[in-house]
Copies of this chain bind each other. A is one copy, B any other.
């Protein structure tokens, strides 16, 4: 998820369930720390339009570089990391007669080293660009940077020194942090190398997003989003199996809601724990899905009973956003589904409704809430009927969405995941989708994931794998160490924000190959 959604509700009233928040706090385990040193000095340039490392030098040469005005050096820490940096700086030449003025650039991918932040005019905050301007009055010094960065490359530029002295970077180190260590997840070995590389980058993506909460992206925007949490939790079950972190996030969402119990799309843990004022039809319902998945993994019936009322409340509240048994259409961003421009979200939102009702029915039974179970049964039966009556076009063989009767990839994928039809008919639908390739495609790893998951759901493993290889493999071919928030194979520089400078290149919702490869292959 990300900053696409700017919802502002002045004076929104919030409700806190203290017991849930206390449990969440108790589950805030200490992060694992790992000392990482830069491996080499690199230069970054463009080859065929792509930013790549064009040359390398041994890191032992770093202290020999005397940085005069406008000189720079770029360290490569060997892999994507999240953490805290310390630089040992010194001066060379005559005594330091002016402050050293430095610019530090932290880059997840080589392209960010070539970016010029002064040209950034995108619509989300420039503050996300990982760049610092620092005055160092007295050299030598050990510069412990207080902020956390997500990066592999670190460029140090001497904006200015003076005619008398030069700046020397004697040493650099990074304390990388995560809730988990890569050692805790077994990498896949019996797969072709390209898939192993996809798996490796997925694991690294997930690891670096696992901090005090499952973060959206450790560069940007660092919050806990529930749509991403659902996918991260599933990937975590297949890999690191850090159950505490999932549990903590569930308690946070259940404990910090709107005053009517509506679960938010995201929440903050600093400076105070509070739910954001952004609410999405699909995202609130996914609380049910996360609880359901957690139970499948843990068989923890107690937490189901404890959180069931919060989960069920999402169904009651979702009904307020529905009319005649289908999601309302007046707010085109009522549900998220995907960032795709022009996407009509009604049909997919309806499918998410069904998908979550099915899981809610199980949970209601587990919680022993017969009344709710009956209610959900009725809702589900009605929703399935509406899915066909309202959205299905037998003639075209696709689900249509909204007043424009739009045929989109996301609508089909979600209707398949919701098991609106039986497996055979769903399989036919997915094959038709791949054959006819409707124009309204998918634009994020999040939505690609659901298309692939739908293909796997109907048994089309090869086709699912092809798509994974094209899409996630495409990022690998561009040098990705971790998977990106946004990727358009046709335009690697695409950004939903008007500039890729603020894109996140290690983003939670793109970590799912680690799960899919383990579950289906």
Interface: A271 (CB within 8 A): yes
- Given A93-B8, A276-B94, A127 and B164 touching (CB < 8 A)? no
- Tell me the complex Cα distance, A18–B117, Å: 50
Interface: A394 (CB within 8 A): no
Q: 1/0 per position for A104-131, CB-CB distance to B under 8 A?
A: 0000000000000010000111111000
Interface: A30 (CB within 8 A): no
- Given A132-B135, A135-B132, A138-B271, A162 and B95 touching (CB < 8 A)? no
Interface: A223 (CB within 8 A): yes
- Tell me the complex Cα distance, A226–B370, Å: 90
Q: Do B161 and A9 touch (CB < 8 A)?
A: no
- How many whole Å from A139's CB to the nearest CB in chain B? 7
Q: Do A126 and B276 touch (CB < 8 A)?
A: no
Interface: A277 (CB within 8 A): yes
Q: Do B125 and A3 touch (CB < 8 A)?
A: no
Give the size category of A's interface with B: 35 or more
Interface: A159 (CB within 8 A): yes
Q: Do A3 and B126 touch (CB < 8 A)?
A: no
Q: Do B127 and A95 touch (CB < 8 A)?
A: no
Q: Do B147 and A137 touch (CB < 8 A)?
A: yes
Interface: A268 (CB within 8 A): yes
- Given A125-B161, A159-B126, A271-B140, A221 and B135 touching (CB < 8 A)? no
Most B Cβ at <10 Å: residue of A98, A125, A138: A125
Residue from B10, B94, B139, B162 within 8 A of A9 (CB atoms): B94
Q: 1/0 per position for A1-32, CB-CB distance to B under 8 A?
A: 00100111110000000000000000000000
Contacts of A221 in B (CB 8 A): 97-98
- How many whole Å from A129's CB to the nearest CB in chain B? 8
Contacts of A223 in B (CB 8 A): 97
**New A-B pairs, 14, CB < 8 Å, besides A94-B276, A97-B268:** A3-B162, A6-B164, A7-B94, A8-B163, A95-B276, A98-B221, A99-B128, A101-B125, A118-B118, A126-B159, A126-B160, A127-B160, A132-B135, A135-B147
